[in-house]
Structure formats: C-alpha cells, structure tokens
Amino acid sequence: MKRRKFTNEEKVKILEEASKNGVTTTLEHYGIYPATYYAWKKKYTSMGEEGFAHGMTPGQLKRIRELEKENRLLKELVAEKELEGKLKDELLKKKYALEKRKNS
C-alpha cells in the first residue's frame, strides 16, 4: 500500500467520521491501520490539533527541562543527606570507641 500523508484537517475529519460511522468501516475506506487511527485519536484528545505536529511542543520541552533541573537538584540533596548521615555514624562510632577505652 502506498504511504499517504494526511493533513490535520483530514485527520480530524476521519476521526469524526469514525465516531459516526464506525471505526472499521472508516479505516477500510481510507486505508488506514487501526494503530494509526488510535494514535491520532490519543493525540487529538490530549492536545487537540496541535497533537498532530511531529515532536513535542515548545511548552512540553520547557516543562521537561524544568523537571530535569528539579530532578538533578533533588538528587544532589539526597546525596548530601546520605553523606551527612554516614559522617555522623562514623563520628558516633569513634566517640563510643573512645569512651569504651577510657572506661576500661
């Protein structure tokens, strides 16, 4: 089957037609695979016509960068707390070891 590109308007029309006439009938008429149809439907319901654009929207990319920055900062905080806890444990072990020697 020859690969065909559909415009955003055609995709919306196909989605509407499928909801009215049935998915199977519409897909056979246009020669579209069900996976393609459901991918379009998912994008359309989540983002509207903007969802048909390839890649991510600038807003999505910005949000991903913000989350990555926040994730990096949180990892640093966890690493600092873990290091702090280990140092405290070592100091307490040394302190109690010295006290035991003095008391013996």
Looking at the structure, tell me whether residues 50 and 83 fall in a common domain: no
Residue 32 CB contacts under 8 Å (≥ 6 apart), including other chains: 14, 26
Range of the domain at 13: 1-55
User: What is the tally of structural domains in the chain?
Assistant: 2
Per-position DSSP letters for 35-71, written without gaps between them: HHHHHHHHHHHHHGGGGGSSS--HHHHHHHHHHHHHH
Q: Is the pTM of this model over 0.75?
A: no
83 and 46 in one domain? no
Q: Do 44 and 51 contact (CB within 8 A), yes or no?
A: yes
Shared domain check, 38 and 17: yes
Q: What is the pLDDT along the chain (104 residues), one digit of tens a residue?
A: 567 888 889 999 999 999 999 999 999 999 999 999 999 998 888 777 877 776 777 778 788 899 999 999 999 999 999 999 999 999 888 887 777 777 76
- pLDDT, residue 50, reads 74
Q: How many angstroms separate the most distant Cα atoms in the chain?
A: 92
